[in-house]
Amino acid sequence: MTDISSQATPNDAPLRDVGGLPARAAALDLLTAALSGRAGMDEGLSHPALAALDGRDRAFARALVMATLRHLGPIDSALQARVKKPPPDKVVQILRLGVAQAFVLKTPAHAAVTTSVDLVAQDRSLQMFKGLVNAVLRGLLREPPQLDDPESMAPSWLYARWRSAFGPDEARKIAAVIAQEPATDLSLKDPARGEALAAKLEAKVLPGGTLRTERRGDLATWPEFAEGAWWVQDASAAIPARLLGVRAGETALDMCAAPGGKTLQLAAAGAKTVALDRSAVRLKRVAENLARMELTAEVAATDAATWPDKRSFDAVLLDAPCSATGTFRRHPDVLWAAKPSDVAGMAAVQSKLLDAAARRTKAGGRLVYCVCSLEPEEGEGQVAAFLGRTPGMTLDPIAAGEGGAPDASVRRDGTLRILPHHIEGGTDGFYVARFRKA
């Protein structure tokens, strides 16, 4: 789920006073889509109401929805304390947006209340709820809610899983990151240019070579975007490809490549790279970014588990499909779209792909398995089962600092469990394991 697009990255603060009723209506459509299920946010971003707005109003609508999703748990707790009988879903969404405007984006109180009431009034079937929306929001303005309690930031079932897996202190630290707006992380085509590009992009260099910048706005206008000097990739997401240690001329396979950040890393290192993905649409984006970066890779739309090609590779990277619960910093909707059954369902897919990855790895070659999930069944449990059924595959321990791995993330068996607070300023949650084939 690493974003390597040129989409704008709006800053919430300067947008707090902009956007009229059309922007709020577009935000309502986007929030409703985001909470409808997986991929809902992506579908909502293409909604006509959002596309019809000018750039600043569109940025406000998106910032409002992201603020709502990042604080959805506490917002709902505050609303439930004041609304005894749940109103229709659309009214609930409008109330959520109103609370986020008033208390997260710091929109002037009158604007947050008035526009919320006006949104309800637009729907004839909901006009009887105007008084409710007005009363609830004004009541909260008189007695401001607490929206920063980590234990209410994630769905209760998910928070309970984190507490069980990592302990109560770590669970609170993980959940505290949910409310934070992330900076933008960049991977470089030429890592040797780190300091020079950091100066141009007002960024700092993180361990491993990722640049982190607080810049906002359209990425396509940033220094050296058009020249293909960098792409957007979370600091954690950049670690697995580095751990393969590919050298120029080696062969490398990226089994689930889209959106393509890891493919770009392998190609930039000089490997003869093959990128697979089931989605031809998502692979088109990979091809576009390869072209922008002036890098080459063989790209094929296929199921990596059943790919008929017989080749094996020096280095294989499997960033497997997963519940994606570690990506909540940029995709807070995943927390609310995920279901307990998703974890077991994804684990079965991962197991099948890991077996295929082992077959694709040459004797003496390396395999890196990773998931952007915080769930042990998709990480630690998956690797233990794989080792138990795969003779000849052994763990190749990862050292602290290797590839930018945070010291706190290294487990005793040499795998990585990267938690979102392990890098200052936050990072995606990942599990990473490296194997050698005898």
For residues 208 and 239, what is the distance between their CA atoms, to the nearest angstrom? 7
| Between residues 11 and 48, the one the model is more confident about | 48
Long-range interactions of 145-150: CB distance < 8 A, separation 24+: 145/74, 145/75, 145/77, 145/78, 145/99, 145/103, 146/74, 146/78, 147/71, 147/74, 147/75, 147/78, 147/99, 147/103, 147/104, 147/179, 148/74, 148/179, 149/74, 150/175, 150/176, 150/178
Percent pLDDT > 90 in the chain is 87
Least confident span in 75-84, 124-133, 339-348, 379-388: 339-348
The sheet that has 211-213: what strands, in order across it?
203-205, 211-213, 184-188, 230-232
The pair of structure tokens assigned to 397 is 């321990």
| Cα dihedral across residues 265, 266, 269, 274: positive or negative | negative
For residues 355 and 130, what is the distance between their CA atoms, to the nearest angstrom? 57
Whole-number pLDDT of residue 18: 55
Q: Using one digit for the tens of pLDDT, what is the confidence trace for 310-353?
A: 999 999 999 999 999 999 999 999 999 988 888 888 999 999 99
Q: Chain centroid to CA 155: how far?
A: 17
Label residue 253 exposed, middle or buried (CB < 10 Å: 0-12, 13-18, 19+). buried
Measured in degrees and rounded to the nearest 5, phi and psi for residue 184 equal: -105, 125
For residues 405 and 49, what is the distance between their CA atoms, to the nearest angstrom? 42
- Going by pLDDT thresholds of 50, 70 and 90, the confidence category of residue 14 is very low
Largest Cα span, the chain: 71
Q: Using one digit for the tens of pLDDT, what is the confidence trace for 146-202?
A: 999 999 999 999 999 999 999 999 999 999 999 999 999 999 999 999 999 999 999
Between the CA of residue 89 and those of 35, 98, 155, 339, what are the distances in Å? 11, 14, 18, 20
Catalytic residue check, 370 = no
Is the pLDDT at 16 greater than 80? The verdict is: no
Out of 256, 322, 370, 372, which one is annotated catalytic? 372
Element counts in the chain: helices (H) and strands (E):
17, 14
For residues 252 and 269, what is the distance between their CA atoms, to the nearest angstrom? 10
Whole-number pLDDT of residue 213: 98
Is the pLDDT at 6 greater than 90? The verdict is: no
**Are the C-beta atoms of residues 1 and 214 closer than 8 Å to each other?**
no
Q: What average pLDDT does range 412-435 have in this prediction?
A: 98
Between the CA of residue 90 and those of 85, 94, 130, 159, 427, what are the distances in Å? 14, 6, 12, 27, 33
User: At 436, which helix (H) or strand (E)?
Assistant: strand 430-437
Whole-number pLDDT of residue 50: 85
Whole-number pLDDT of residue 39: 67
Secondary structure class of 366 (helix, strand, coil):
strand
Q: Using one digit for the tens of pLDDT, what is the confidence trace for 123-156?
A: 999 999 999 999 999 999 999 999 999 999 999 9
Label residue 364 exposed, middle or buried (CB < 10 Å: 0-12, 13-18, 19+). exposed
For residues 113 and 107, what is the distance between their CA atoms, to the nearest angstrom? 10
Is the pLDDT at 2 greater than 60? The verdict is: no
For residues 295 and 54, what is the distance between their CA atoms, to the nearest angstrom? 34
